[in-house]
Chains A and B, each alone.
Chain A
Amino acid sequence: MPVTVSMRVNGTALTREVEPHTLLVRFLRESLGLTGTHVGCDTSQCGACVVHVDGLSVKSCTMLAVQADGAEILTIEGLAATDGTLHPVQAAFREHHGLQCGYCTPGMVMSAVDLLRVNPDPDEAEIRHWLEGNLCRCTGYHGIVTAVLDAAARLRATPRTPGESAV
């Protein structure tokens, strides 16, 4: 039986009917057209699907849309400012070759933003440990780690809340 859910996605309140077995990632991509969130595996291991639910990074492929009823969701689309200025983590990924094919990037970025919330000054080992649930087949992670280190420095210089201008 379909269930009615209400949530805020990237600052916009919405109400929809969903089937209980609809995964959050599928809801975001197919019902809302937010295809920035990717699906890279069937085993909850790759992290391509990471979004924030009530401020915490989670794997949207391992959560039902009904479980997000009442929640505040932030996806990669909600990270940049409304004028298109990239979030410092996005900008740093671009500058430091933190991506090649880009498939893992939305999840990597959302996970990294969450890390910098709990730990604004991580060292390399802490970054690698935090990104354990985000797999990248291209970069070898070096550029990603450099990007996160640089983004952390920029954010410490000028703190900013993710999606603040999108909300």
Chain B
Amino acid sequence: MYAFDYCRVAAADEAIRALREAEDGSFLAGGMTLIPILKQRLARPTVLIDLSGIVVLGGIGEDEQGLILGALATHAEVAASPLVRRVIPGLAEMAAGIGDPQVRHRGTLGGSLANNDPVADYPAAMLALDATIRTDRRAIAADDFFTGLFETALAPDELIMAVHVPVPDLFAYRKFPNPASRYAMAGVAVAVTGKGVRVAVTGAGLSGVFRMTAMEEALAADFRPEALDAVPVPAGQMNEDLHGSAAYRAHLVTVMAKRALAAAR
């Protein structure tokens, strides 16, 4: 690893100030993405600003609209939270399927969203659930947040504070995990809300997480797994790599969508 400086801050404004003052600073949450990147020398920040001491970024709660998940909520905390399990059980289940227990003990919601890895699970869940990402300066709808491979609407010095998740009528997420990394080869989240059906796909698309509107329309008319048989998934928009061809991923998207539908509650 290249050398860098390290600072731990106690408040959001302190973190942002430290980042602005740094030549090339980076926020550090669970480190489950950032530290592997540093080990591979794929990034060379001058200072890491550790967010773990910012108490207001932690915690899991609710208001009239739904769940409020702090940016520092770990995957293990979301998976084990009695509140999340009661209100959106499929979200707790999704968190329980990220990586392995050691990754879940440290990896955070905020880190996962900010990173927007095209094979990560949370982006699909939050996009389907029509969540709102609250930062230090504004609220960003999930529809506007994920802008491309590892790209988000966040400004370089913008800090995710919490995520607001409206309670759906039904929700489930299913992924076909890469057997080595546990990341999604294809993952599909299906949510039914008062506003309609939302289907979001991760792991498969050429430009990262996306909403599968053709499936949403088909399911609005007929909410059964068989309704998806008639919906083509264009292989031309799928990712192709050593783990699978574009045609295989297109096939997986339909299979995962059907499984999510069958599991939705």
Query: Contacts of B101 on A, CB cut-off 8 Å?
Result: 57, 111, 114-115, 130, 132-133
Q: Residues 22-55 of chain B: 1 if any A CB is under 8 Å from the residue's CB, otherwise 0?
A: 0000001001100110111000000010101000
Q: Residues 57-91 of chain A: 1 if any B CB is under 8 Å from the residue's CB, otherwise 0?
A: 11101111011010000000000000000000000
Contact B4 A133 (CB under 8 A): no
Contact A57 B105 (CB under 8 A): yes
Contact A67 B50 (CB under 8 A): yes
Contact of A21 among B2, B36, B50, B102 (CB under 8 A): B2
- Whole-angstrom distance between the Cβ of A68 and the nearest chain B Cβ: 11
Contact A133 B100 (CB under 8 A): yes
Query: Contacts of A19 on B, CB cut-off 8 Å?
Result: 3
Contact A43 B31 (CB under 8 A): no
Interface check A1, CB cutoff 8 A: yes
Contact of B106 among A20, A63, A111 (CB under 8 A): A63
Which bucket holds chain B's interface residue count?
A: 20 to 34
Residues of A in contact, count (CB < 8 Å): 30
- Whole-angstrom distance between the Cβ of A20 and the nearest chain B Cβ: 4
Contact A58 B48 (CB under 8 A): no
Contact B181 A62 (CB under 8 A): no
User: Once A and B bind, how many residue pairs between them come within 8 Å at the CB atom?
Assistant: 75
Those of B95-114 within 8 Å (CB) of chain A: 99-103, 105-106
A23 vs B31: C-alpha distance when bound (angstroms): 11
A69 to B, closest residue via Cβ: B8
Contact B2 A50 (CB under 8 A): no
A23 vs B1: C-alpha distance when bound (angstroms): 9
Contact A42 B100 (CB under 8 A): no
Interface check B182, CB cutoff 8 A: yes
Contact A56 B5 (CB under 8 A): no
- Whole-angstrom distance between the Cβ of A39 and the nearest chain B Cβ: 11
A23 vs B181: C-alpha distance when bound (angstroms): 22
Chain A residues proximal to chain B, CB less than 8 Å: 1, 3, 19-21, 23, 42-45, 47, 50, 56-59, 61-64, 66-67, 69, 111, 114-115, 130, 132-134
